[in-house]
Structure 1
Amino acid sequence: MFHQPIEAPSTALVRPVRLTVMQGQARVSGDPRVELTTVLGSCIACCLFDATSNVGGMNHFLLAEPKGGRGVDEHYGAYLMEVLINEMLAYGATRPAMRAHLYGGANMHSGMTRIGSANAAFATAFLEQERIPLVRSSLGGNQARRVDFRPARGQARLRLVDDTVAPQPIERPAATRGDVELF
């Protein structure tokens, strides 16, 4: 079921047009038939909407900010958050009316760098700095998420992806002395 933070327009969603938002992308629409979708692990999806202009959008970023002075590109939240806001403004949204949802930021593998936590902290701080209210979020944990977002209405549906759906790692026997392991 879609979470509906605002009164929806009376136009029923007929034959939805599903658009996948991949890593490094931002998409914006005011078409009530459009549904944006993505699957997240440690990545973050920010869904913005403006209820007064019925415009919304979603981005999907892999990492928060580059390390070591490297340039910012489409894989970083520092870039894609600005792209999403600017696209929203180009479609007629106003900054004071924007509201946000944040999803993702899971730490998928124990013992590895907590990239998901860093991404979630970045996205939350970015919205606070830009004074965009966060009205809904599902961040952290260790499960992947599937997010469907109807941008013109600000409606979102979140589903956690069960670990049994993901392929399990293949255990290979340890190489003994003199054996060669090809990979």
Structure 2
Amino acid sequence: MPHSMTMPETFTRGVVTTVHQGDCLVSVKPDATFSTVLGSCISACVRDRAAGLGGMNHFLLANQSGSSKDRFGESARYGAFAMEQLINMVLSKGSGRKANLEFKVFGGGNIHAGMNDVGAKNIAFVRDFLAEEGYVISSQDLGGNYARRVMYQPVTGRAFVKRLDSTDSARLVHEELAIAKRQVIKPVKDDIELF
């Protein structure tokens, strides 16, 4: 049965920008809201509390396969690059202090048996990555057997999660399986300084 998308009274959509697989967006605009739909994918939301800005990424796989890693380099579709890219963008546009960062993570659903539980691998990756970097997850909605829509306000850090019905999950499974089988990526055009 489909769920209605009712927002809490204090959560207004503002200007919504969709974050697709491989995207990493940051904003300082008070009315900005980032939105994405996740199956086994992960979205991390990072906010610099002192600077009043934040961002969201969206990645499908924790790591590249051996063949694509050698031929194409890194891509924001993969966890390590996506996480480093988002953290560095928030730090460089914000206060530059790691202690000011707040982390919220979402996704990693096991929405199709044919995905070999990519979601669980993604959850393990994001938790390990943040722990190794010394960051604490302040809020999370991970796992389960469903897709979810996430709306995130980068300036306030407010997030709204809606669990989606089986029709949405089936569409996402189709898209994710096609991408996971392809594993073809575009080379990265810009260099990013890693902290």
State the TM-score bracket (shorter-chain normalisation).
Answer: 0.7 to 0.9
User: Equivalents in 2 of 1:166, 1:111: separation in Å?
Assistant: 13
User: Equivalents in 2 of 1:44, 1:21: separation in Å?
Assistant: 11
Higher helix share: 2
Is 1:134 matched with 2:137?
yes
User: Equivalents in 2 of 1:79, 1:40: separation in Å?
Assistant: 18
Shift of 1:112: 3.9
User: Equivalents in 1 of 2:88, 2:114: separation in Å?
Assistant: 37
For 2:79, the aligned partner's letter is: G
TM-score between both structures, scaled by the size of structure 1: 0.80
For 1:148, the aligned partner's letter is: M
Gap runs ≥5 in structure 1: 5-11, 169-183
Gap runs ≥5 in structure 2: 1-6, 172-195
Shift of 1:74: 2.1
User: 1:62-107 deviations in whole A, cap 9, x for unaligned?
Assistant: 1001132613212101111011011101211421110111100011
User: Equivalents in 2 of 1:74, 1:32: separation in Å?
Assistant: 25
Q: Quick one: structure 1 residues 16 and 134, their matched pair in 2 at CA, closer, same or farther if it must change by over 3 Å?
A: same
User: Equivalents in 2 of 1:167, 1:47: separation in Å?
Assistant: 25
Q: Which of 69, 83, 86 is residue 84 of structure 1 equivalent to?
A: 86
For 2:30, the aligned partner's letter is: P
Map 1:14-33 → 2, pairs under 5 A:
16-33=14-31
TM-score between both structures, scaled by the size of structure 2: 0.75
Higher strand share: 1
Q: Which of 108, 116, 119 is residue 113 of structure 1 equivalent to?
A: 116
Task: Indicate the percent of aligned positions where both proteins have the same amino acid.
Answer: 42
User: Equivalents in 1 of 2:131, 2:17: separation in Å?
Assistant: 28
Larger mean CA deviation between 108-117 and 152-161 belongs to 108-117
User: Equivalents in 2 of 1:24, 1:112: separation in Å?
Assistant: 19
For 1:34, the aligned partner's letter is: A
The structure number with the bigger radius of gyration is 1
Task: Please tell me the root mean square deviation across aligned C-alpha atoms, in Å.
Answer: 2.1
Aligned length: 159
SS at match of 1:61: coil
